[in-house]
Amino acid sequence: MRRSKKRIGILTGGGDCPGLNAGIRAIAKTAILDYDMEVIGIKDGFLGLIENRFLPVSYEDVSGILNLGGTFLGASNKANPFRHPDFKGRLRDVSDMAVENYQAMELDGLICIGGDGTLNIAYKLFKKGVRLVGVPKTIDNDLRQTDATIGFDSALITATQAIDKLHTTAQSHHRVMVIEVMGRYAGWLALYSGLAGGGDIILLPEIPYDIKKVCEVVLKRNQSGKRFSIVVASEGSRPKGGKMVVKKIVKDSTDPLRLGGIGNKLANEIEKITGLEARVTVLGHLQRGGEPSPFDRMLATRFGVDACELIAKGDFGKMVVLKAGQIKKVDLKKAVGDIKRVGLSDPVIKVARSVGTSFGI
């Protein structure tokens, strides 16, 4: 029997972040109000597509979720149809099953909200015939082609507020405070929060540091009467000639490496070399939690509305992006692959150096 309405699907892949619910809300309301579509929510990202788990989403379901963190559809940063573990833990390609489930849902289009891993998977599914559109979200802000991603601004606020609070205890106890922030292989979160929070030293994956230079800055501040220092370190930071600190390896994840531990490594080395007391704070998943900032609510809403419009027009294989304040579209192929990293000539690097911030070199 022929359906009278078109049907659109939504999934949120990868790690959660503030603003996902705002994006789901925008997509669902636009689909229902502007295009008279049915909306299907796929549970737990691509895992729901693999296991055929979904639910109908009504206008009422998305009312009142604009300011809520997380995603009510659920997410998974391990589910990958092209590398899915069987009951023995062996990785198999079940993408054909995911495509069959997509077809069984009778979707006229699918919107995938996610970061580089999610959108890489989405592009592969698009090449297998899944009609879809991508929406960029990640607190790492490392997706090419877009000036901003959903979640980055909210995580930036959380990290900056944490640095602000650590300033007072650092001053009181005359300590070196090392704050480890997320970001994986890109230093945007550390750079922006470090500059906004008044970090004395900012360490990024893109600029391998010299621990002797780091300690020189700390000692110079101490000798000049500034008896505390704030070191903001991206989790992907590494010393010159050294490697990133890997906390553990999750083989069935879209990104097997789990970074973490650079903060403790730095604090121990700073104490040993300078003789000054150092403490470390790892912000971890605090940066991915809580309510979205006004900017992220607006960005997610704008992305969601335009993504739904692309589906309605049948313009698949695209990703919505923010460029110079305007929402544009780019081919998904151009948006995935190599991530966006902080360049040494980035204007924010220059600004930070102008106000005396050290990058450990």
Q: What angle do CA 217, 221, 224 make, to 5 degrees?
A: 140
Give the structural domain span for 315. 7-150+292-335
| In a domain? residue 87 | yes
pTM over 0.85: yes
Do 266 and 296 belong to one domain?
no
CA distance 286 to 182: 10
Q: Is the pLDDT of residue 206 over 60?
A: yes
> From the candidates 108, 140, 200, 306, which is the catalytic residue?
140
| In a domain? residue 343 | no
| In a domain? residue 361 | no
Do 128 and 181 belong to one domain?
no
Domain holding 46: CATH number?
3.40.50.450
Do 94 and 217 belong to one domain?
no
Do 140 and 166 belong to one domain?
no
Domain holding 203: CATH number?
3.40.50.460
Do 96 and 179 belong to one domain?
no
Which residue bears the tokens 């079940």?
A: 94
Do 188 and 284 belong to one domain?
yes
DSSP secondary structure code for residue 66 in this structure: T
Share of the chain above pLDDT 90, in %: 88
Do 45 and 123 belong to one domain?
yes
Q: Where are the beta strands (DSSP E) in 3-52?
A: 7-12, 38-42
Q: Where are the beta strands (DSSP E) in 131-282?
A: 132-136, 176-181, 201-203, 229-234, 246-249, 257-259, 278-282
Do 194 and 114 belong to one domain?
no
Do 253 and 162 belong to one domain?
yes
Report, as an integer, the average pLDDT of 340-353.
95
How many angstroms from the chain centroid is the CA of residue 252?
19
**Residues with Cβ < 8 Å from 265, sequence gap 6 or more?**
245
| In a domain? residue 58 | yes
**Using a CB cutoff of 8 Å and minimum separation of 24, what contacts does 253-258 make?**
253/77, 253/78, 254/14, 254/77, 254/78, 254/80, 254/83, 254/117, 254/118, 254/120, 254/121, 255/77, 255/117, 255/184
| In a domain? residue 358 | no
Round the average pLDDT of the chain to a whole number and report it.
94
pLDDT digits 0-9 by tens, 35-55: 999 999 999 999 999 999 999
Do 16 and 146 belong to one domain?
yes
Structure tokens at 52: 């055929």
Do 183 and 131 belong to one domain?
no
Give the number of other Cβ atoms within 10 Å of residue 168's Cβ: 10
Looking at residue 346, its pLDDT comes to 94
CA distance 190 to 236: 10
Number of domains in the chain: 2
Give the number of other Cβ atoms within 10 Å of residue 30's Cβ: 22
| In a domain? residue 345 | no
| In a domain? residue 323 | yes
Active site residue 315: no
Q: Is the pLDDT of residue 252 over 70?
A: no
Do 225 and 307 belong to one domain?
no
| In a domain? residue 353 | no
